[in-house]
Chain A
Amino acid sequence: MAYDKLIFERSSEGRVGYSLPESPVADYDIDASLTREADPELPEVSEFDVIRHYTNLSFKNHGIETGFYPLGSCTMKYNPKINQELSSNEAFTAVHPLQPAESVQGLLKIYYETQRMLSEVSGMDTYSLNPYAGAHGELVGLLIIKAYHESKGDHKRTKIIVPDSAHGTNPASAKVAGFDVVEVASNCEGDTCDGTVNIESLKDVLDDEVAGIMLTNPNTLGMFEKDILKVAELVHEAGGLLYYDGANLNPIMGVARPGDMGFDITHINLHKTFSTPHGGGGPGSGPVGVTKELKPFLPAPIVRKAGDFYLVDEASELSIGRISQFFGNMNVVVKAYAYMLSTGRDYLPEIAKLSTLNANYVRESLKDTYELPVDEICKHEFVFDGLKNPPEGVRAIDVAKRLLDFGMHPPTVYFPLLYKESMMVEPVENESKQTLDEFIKTMRTIAKEAEEDSDTLKNAPYTTPVRRLDEAQAARKPRVKFKDLL
């Protein structure tokens, strides 16, 4: 039976897990009227208790190093250890964000060079590395769109166009930025839609109230927007701006650049494309890039280079303002910088090509068993619409749960929303042919199990630390802290 204690359940009164030097200065009183009546209840555990507890918790997680992790749109690539080592240096970690520029030239150089390299990779003029995550980058980008139109005295542009295949964050970010969301339809043949923008549908929604369009290219079905140049032309003609959601940059890195496609603003997920760890849901980093024209709108602080000196600047009058307390997730940036140097100009295009090769190999190898709605060459990912011949009641989630028993993390399920049984598969460039072949074989085994006895799938998983959860119970009567369990 798997370890199942909470840290609070390991607590014994009087145990400690820390050591501190004795304070050399006198004791000063705290006014009793300011202090709390009862102490917060925190665990009382030894250092070894803590180590064993969290080590045991870690055994209940599937990480990238545990096994295959083809989670679509998440780019679960190898997180190199050297990046971890290099970024742990005290010269980078023990530095206060308010240190004067002359004492942090190394960090500012990393910041500046990362801005520059991301610009080269994506064809933008410059970047801000302040945004903390992809969704934060989207918000920043949308605020730039807003500020741009406002600077022209154009206050009627209240709409952002988002395709029906977009990530959920796109419409949510547009809303937070104060825009109304207008959906644009995909290109479809019958019921089969490939998520690319339908030009006629785009023309229908373009007017002088449109502030911009948010696109992921390749999109969430792994399809490259073939008409991107036309889309850019039409949106620009209508006075709107193009925003590039960089979640799927990996397969076109070094092959084509958003800036050249006509995008005005981009964000890049360093925790996807540039190998920094996802951390179980952050810290990520979502740098935002802009064209030269939009540079004055970037958030503060800004890192610039003057001669050989790197300096920190406040923003221009036109800036959207500050969006982070300091410089964003700087230690994450250090890792991404190390990754960019490891791969360099030579291997970035290789990454794009091999991730695309992997996806197409898996797609082609399984399309006889799993329903492939869009049967075309894809980029880094593609979407199955469940099993080709699903027995009664067997759904994508059942296939996903059964995969867990084979030590593999499932694809993203039920996204994108275009297909009812979406299974979005992204086998990144670090995965070898052997691993892919094992996955293909496993997916076939599962399909066969579904035919022979569908309960095998419906009751899966069997071998995981816990089995399927009662999610309804959790939502109906939320218990969100230890005391709620007592």
Chain B
Amino acid sequence: MHKYLPHTEADIKAMLDAIGVERIEDLFAEIPDSLKDFEMDLPKAHSEMELRKHFRELAKMNQPLIPFAGAGAYDHYTPSIIPYLIERQEFLTAYTPYQPEVSQGTLQYVFEYQTMITELTGMDVSNASMYDGATATAEAMFLAQATRKKNRVLVSATLNPYVRDVIDTYAHAKGIEVVTLPEVDGASDFSALEGSLDDDTAALIVQSPNVYGVIEELEGVKETLKQKKALLVVNQDPSTLAYLKPPADHGADIVVGDAQPLGIPLYFGGPYIGYMAATKKLMRKMPGRICGATEDTDGRRAFVLTLQAREQHIRRDKATSNICSNQSLMALFVTIYLSLMGVKGLKDVQKTSYNHAHYLYENLKGLKQFEAPFERPFFKEFTLRTTLDAEKMNQALKEKGYLGPFAHGTYDASKADLVTFAVTEKRTKEEMDELIRILGAL
């Protein structure tokens, strides 16, 4: 017997009798015998005590480092009640809300989440979530291709390299040509934009703050794109939108990114949550689920998945995307986070992160091992040129319990001297000062 399996011998016997077979094995008679003959090298069943012991040992094999790296994953504070609320079984264990009468909890938080994403980005409509920021960006490329019916996208060189890799993978699937818009001094070279566009260009994809942490200057970009009827896709850390101009103000058609910086733990890379917001014009072609308001037969306000004609379970091979499960519970996470913080709290968190980043920047820049490679506005991530070997530097930091900056040499050897630090409200002055001391002594 196993505690997850309730069947007694008597139950099994009664059920087999009802079915009219003698043994459970008879229920598998149609499976060829040749397929049933194999061994599985699996562990024995663990009791709860054994499991806890095993996991204590595994935990000891991890050494969580205090991060001064970001590159798409940011160490912000998680208020205590979020795990408590999202682990309520009604949210945690439910399936996709296909039966809206008993899924109003899920549907309503999705509606609230969509509202908050549109508030932050300034866009008309948000979907219910995507997998992560990288796949959301790739899906934005598909959306641009499908609406513009063009097969080429421009991608700024300052996009996070992992996001770029995912874009390249997805683009290959559909035979989309991906062209890089060059960078200059840590930002997209928009002076090259007009020359890079052609009639077959569906969109420009640009990230702000970008992979160097630099806030991109998007003024006028949309006007240039308009000449060739290309869309503006902006990938942005939504937490920075407490302060920064919303992409809608720059004329963005689609805004995407990862909402992990809204309090989601680092989780060694996931689950995070991709978000996608767009103009009203694009709503009926957007991928993923969208929740809308309606009424029930008694006239009560209620929520339901809507515009489902876009989706795979209805449209099959005519769907705008194959996405089915998304990251719903993480949408609840973000919604609760933004409810607790409000705009005041979000600004507090972001301003403290901003101040910390600038404090560290000013101090590291003063060390002989570092210099500023460009003078550009940044938010909570900044880039320095270093005379140190990035790998050795990060090894030294690791020994003191720190995760060192993101080294650009890991994806581009020509950038081996560039490193990007990320600093959040969680970093204390003591930690920053110690980092400065360690690096100054290398």
Contacts and interface: CB of A to CB of B under 8 A. Distances in A.
Given A280-B94, A282-B328, A168 B313 contact: yes
29 contacts: A18-B342, A37-B245, A40-B242, A41-B119, A43-B338, A43-B339, A50-B85, A60-B108, A61-B103, A66-B90, A97-B266, A97-B268, A100-B394, A107-B268, A168-B313, A178-B173, A257-B38, A260-B38, A279-B94, A280-B94, A281-B97, A326-B162, A329-B270, A341-B45, A342-B48, A344-B44, A466-B300, A474-B306, A478-B290
Interface string A34-50: 11110111111101001
B65 A96 contact: yes
Given A135-B322, A168-B315, A341-B46, 13 more contacts: A36-B243, A61-B106, A107-B268, A168-B312, A280-B103, A321-B165, A322-B165, A325-B133, A325-B258, A341-B54, A471-B294, A480-B114, A481-B125
Given A324-B166, A466-B300, A271 B325 contact: yes
Interface in B96-143: 96-106, 108-109, 111-112, 114-116, 118-120, 125-126, 128-129, 131-135, 142
Contacts of A365: 18
B202 interface: no
Interface in A132-146: 132-136, 138-139, 142-143, 146
B101 A469 contact: yes
Nearest to A485: B293
Interface string A392-433: 000000001100100001101001000000000000011111
Interface string A60-89: 111111100101001010111010101011
A39 B216 CA distance: 20
Contacts of B359: 25-26, 28
A16 B28 CA distance: 59
Contacts of A401: 101
Contacts of B135: 132, 136, 323-325
Contacts of B106: 61, 280-281
A234 to B, nearest CB: 16
Interface stretch (A117-125, A200-208, A287-295, A383-391): A117-125
A65 B89 contact: yes
Contacts of B72: 325-326
A475 interface: yes
Contact of A432 (B11, B398, B428): B11
B327 A105 contact: no
B269 A326 contact: yes
A332 B301 CA distance: 34
A99 B403 contact: yes
Given A88-B83, A466-B302, A176 B73 contact: no
Nearest to A260: B35
B317 A94 contact: no
Nearest to B24: A353
Contacts of A356: 24, 27-28
Interface residues of A, number: 192
A30 B240 CA distance: 12
Interface string A375-387: 0010100000000
B290 A480 contact: yes
A281 B298 contact: no
Interface stretch (B179-187, B345-353, B366-374): B345-353
B406 interface: yes
Contact of B19 (A281, A332, A360): A360
Interface in B1-46: 2, 4-7, 11-12, 14-16, 18-21, 24, 26-32, 34-36, 38, 40-46
B162 to A, nearest CB: 5
A172 B355 contact: no
Contacts of A483: 115, 118
Given A41-B343, A65-B89, A410 B99 contact: yes
B176 to A, nearest CB: 10
Given A143-B173, A172-B312, A229-B32, A61 B105 contact: yes
A465 B2 contact: no
Contacts of A475: 292, 306-309
Contacts of B97: 280-281
A176 B174 contact: yes
A97 B269 contact: yes
B438 interface: no
A172 B109 contact: no
A450 interface: no
Nearest to B2: A347
B397 to A, nearest CB: 10
A343 to B, nearest CB: 6
A142 B145 CA distance: 20
Nearest to B160: A325
A114 to B, nearest CB: 12
B341 interface: yes
A400 B99 contact: yes
Interface in A308-325: 320-325
B403 A98 contact: yes
Interface string B384-402: 0000000000110010000
A278 to B, nearest CB: 5
A226 interface: yes
The 10 closest A-B pairs by CB, nearest first: A326-B269, A279-B329, A344-B45, A106-B61, A97-B269, A283-B271, A172-B312, A321-B169, A91-B59, A61-B105
Contacts of B308: 475
A181 B312 CA distance: 14
B99 A325 contact: no
Interface in A105-162: 105-107, 109-110, 117, 120-121, 123, 132-136, 138-139, 142-143, 146
A257 B35 contact: yes
Given A20-B348, A36-B245, A224-B31, A63 B269 contact: no
A466 B100 contact: yes
A468 interface: yes
A228 B63 CA distance: 47
Contacts of A143: 169, 172-173
Interface stretch (B74-82, B188-196, B223-231): B74-82
B268 A92 contact: yes
B271 A332 contact: yes
Contact of B101 (A132, A330, A466): A466
A452 interface: no
Contact of A464 (B101, B330, B339): B101
B19 A76 contact: no
A9 B322 CA distance: 35
A476 B432 CA distance: 54
B167 to A, nearest CB: 9
A246 interface: no
A236 to B, nearest CB: 16
A432 B24 CA distance: 16
A81 B227 CA distance: 57
A341 B341 CA distance: 39
A441 interface: no
